[in-house]
């Protein structure tokens, strides 16, 4: 299977197989390619040349990471699936423009982040959250009482609790936290993507961490009571 | 320096480190040092989160359908079907030409 790399090139319409269906045990062409031990670099080059099966191979390589990013940023399964779909559709359309100046995963990741942010802007969520976060809130203030009453969190938080706590963050906090602490973007990159200042990014990240601290402490206290 | 003063600048110094005054406060204040330890712990724990979730088959189906709708791809299986159909057409055309010439 092949697919066109640019509009000017031959627009032969070719079929896409069902290799992307993760639960179907059909050995498709894409899976055969994968089984042949093709490297990601080869798959990228062949996909750029119009090899559709290699596009499916790339989907297989990256679907988990892209979907996890979308899920963590939105906190919603259906929305994350829609955004994953949109990210790979954009990849299909833009892969010919990938020049290898950065790692493919970095490039695809950035593309996916932009897809999510664009969707959130459409919904107006991030703007609302950013405005909210700029307003001083009582909960954002120093918490001497809690800090002096309990021990530090270290060693008491597991992955599931942390994932749940991130999911329950307000959208604006969640996005910055995921981008910085989970995905490893720098504040200047986040500021550029979000259209805010670096200071705002730092401030919002701090509030997100403070909120997570509260959530994790509350969760720990509730568990202690149940025991 | 008070805790309130320290915590008001904390978002901007937590990664880079603060001034001597701020560092002194951190060393001597249990409240602020516990807070900073927690925030570092959360940031470190977040780095360890790996992509665990896998999208359902619905995602790939959606990609296929969108590409088909846009005319960039066509449903699986149609290629061979069309190739066979084209072959039959060629046979018919060839037979018609032969018949026409012999007639």
Instruction: Return the CATH number at A33.
Output: 1.10.1740.10
Q: Residues 59..88 of B with a Cβ closer than 8 Å to A: which?
A: 59-64, 66-68, 71-79
* B64 shares a domain with B33: no
This prediction has a pTM of 0.73
Residue A157's pLDDT is what? 76
- According to DSSP H, which parts of A29-76 are helical? 29-35, 40-48, 52-74
Model confidence pLDDT, tens digit, residues A132-174: 444 445 455 444 544 444 577 777 778 888 999 999 998 889 9
Residue A150's pLDDT is what? 56
Q: Has residue A10 got a pLDDT over 50?
A: no
For the segment B50-55, the average pLDDT, to the nearest whole number, is 82
Q: Has residue A209 got a pLDDT over 50?
A: yes
Q: Establish if B26 belongs to a structural domain.
A: yes
Q: Establish if B52 belongs to a structural domain.
A: no
Residues paired with residue A14 on neighbouring β-strands, in sequence order? B73
* B68 shares a domain with B36: no
* Residue numbers of the domain that contains B93: 57-102
Which residue among A123, A158, A178 closes a domain? A123
The burial of A64, by beta-carbon neighbours within 10 Å (0-12 exposed, 13-18 middle, 19 or more buried), is given as middle
Least CB–CB distance from B79: residue in A14, A65, A81:
A14
Q: Which residues of B32-42 are buried (b: 16+ CB within 10 A; e: fewer)?
A: bebbbebbbbb
Residue B45's pLDDT is what? 92
* A208 shares a domain with A150: yes
* A119 shares a domain with A135: no
Residue A23's pLDDT is what? 40
| Pick from A169, A178, A65, A166: nearest CA to A117 | A178
Residue A120's pLDDT is what? 85
Predicted-assembly ipTM surpassing the 0.95 threshold: no
Cβ–Cβ gap A64/B51 under 8 Å: yes
How far is it, in rounded angstroms, from Cα A129 to Cα A144? 26
Which residue among A123, A153, A180 closes a domain? A123
Q: To probe the interface with A, which of B53, B57, B58, B74 has the most A CB atoms within 10 Å?
A: B53
* CATH, residue A162: 1.10.10.10
Q: Is the CB of residue A116 less than 8 Å from the CB of residue A193?
A: no
| Pick from A159, A171, A157, A162: nearest CA to A75 | A171
How far is it, in rounded angstroms, from Cα A169 to Cα A209? 10
* A147 shares a domain with A108: no
* B42 shares a domain with B77: no
How far is it, in rounded angstroms, from Cα A75 to Cα A168? 8
How far is it, in rounded angstroms, from Cα A112 to Cα A84? 7
Q: Which two tokens stand for residue B97?
A: 């030409």
Model confidence pLDDT, tens digit, residues A17-57: 444 444 443 446 666 666 667 888 888 988 888 777 888 88
Q: Establish if A176 belongs to a structural domain.
A: yes
Q: Which two tokens stand for residue A161?
A: 């609790």
> CA-nearest residue of chain A to B12?
A202
How far is it, in rounded angstroms, from Cα A198 to Cα B79? 52
Q: Establish if A41 belongs to a structural domain.
A: yes
Q: List chain A residues with CB under 8 Å of B48.
A: 159
Q: Per-residue confidence at A3, pLDDT binned at 50, 70, 90?
A: very low
Closest CA of chain A from B98, distance in Å: 31
Residue A127's pLDDT is what? 46
**Percent residues over pLDDT 90 in chain A:** 39
| Pick from A172, A171, A167, A168: nearest CA to A195 | A172
Q: Establish if B91 belongs to a structural domain.
A: yes
How far is it, in rounded angstroms, from Cα A16 to Cα B75? 6
Q: Establish if B95 belongs to a structural domain.
A: yes
Instruction: Please give the C-alpha separations between residue A49 and each of A43, A89, A115, B41, in angstroms, as whole numbers.
Output: 10, 17, 24, 46
When computed from its CA atoms, the radius of gyration of chain A, rounded to whole angstroms, is 21
* A176 shares a domain with A115: no
Which residue among A94, A123, A152 closes a domain? A123
Q: Is the CB of residue A158 less than 8 Å from the CB of residue A112?
A: no
* Residue numbers of the domain that contains A194: 128-226
Closest CA of chain B from A54, distance in Å: 14
| Pick from B28, B30, B25, B27: nearest CA to B6 | B25
């Amino acid at each position: 299977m092949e697919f066109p790399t640019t509009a000017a090139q031959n627009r032969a319409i070719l079929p896409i197989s069902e290799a992307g269906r993760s639960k179907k045990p059909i050995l498709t062409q894409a899976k055969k390619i994968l089984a042949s031990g093709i490297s990601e670099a080869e798959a990228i080059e062949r996909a750029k040349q119009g090899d559709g099966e290699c596009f499916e191979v790339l989907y297989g390589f990256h679907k988990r990471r892209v979907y996890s990013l979308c899920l963590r940023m939105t906190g919603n399964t259906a929305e994350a699936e829609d955004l994953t779909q949109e990210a790979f559709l954009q990849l299909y359309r833009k892969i010919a423009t990938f020049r290898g100046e950065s790692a493919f995963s970095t490039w695809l990741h950035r593309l996916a982040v932009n897809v999510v942010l664009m969707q959130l802007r459409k919904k107006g969520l991030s703007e609302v959250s950013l405005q909210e976060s700029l307003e001083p809130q009582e909960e954002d203030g120093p918490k001497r009482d809690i800090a002096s009453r309990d021990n530090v969190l270290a060693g008491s938080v597991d992955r599931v609790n942390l994932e749940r706590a991130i999911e329950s963050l307000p959208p604006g906090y969640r996005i910055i936290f995921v981008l910085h602490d989970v995905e490893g973007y720098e504040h200047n990159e986040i500021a550029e993507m979000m259209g805010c200042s670096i200071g705002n990014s730092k401030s919002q990240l701090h509030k997100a961490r403070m909120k997570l601290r509260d959530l994790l402490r509350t969760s720990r206290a509730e568990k202690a009571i149940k025991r | 320096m008070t805790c309130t003063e320290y915590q008001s600048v904390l978002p901007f110094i937590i990664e880079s480190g603060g001034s001597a005054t701020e560092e002194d406060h951190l060393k001597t204040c249990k409240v602020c040092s516990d807070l900073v330890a927690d925030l570092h712990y959360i940031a470190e724990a977040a780095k360890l989160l790996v992509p665990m979730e896998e999208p359902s088959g619905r995602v790939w189906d959606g990609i296929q359908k969108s590409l088909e709708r846009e005319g960039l791809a066509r449903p699986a299986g149609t290629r061979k079907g069309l190739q066979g159909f084209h072959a039959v057409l060629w046979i018919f055309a060839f037979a018609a030409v032969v018949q026409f010439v012999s007639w």
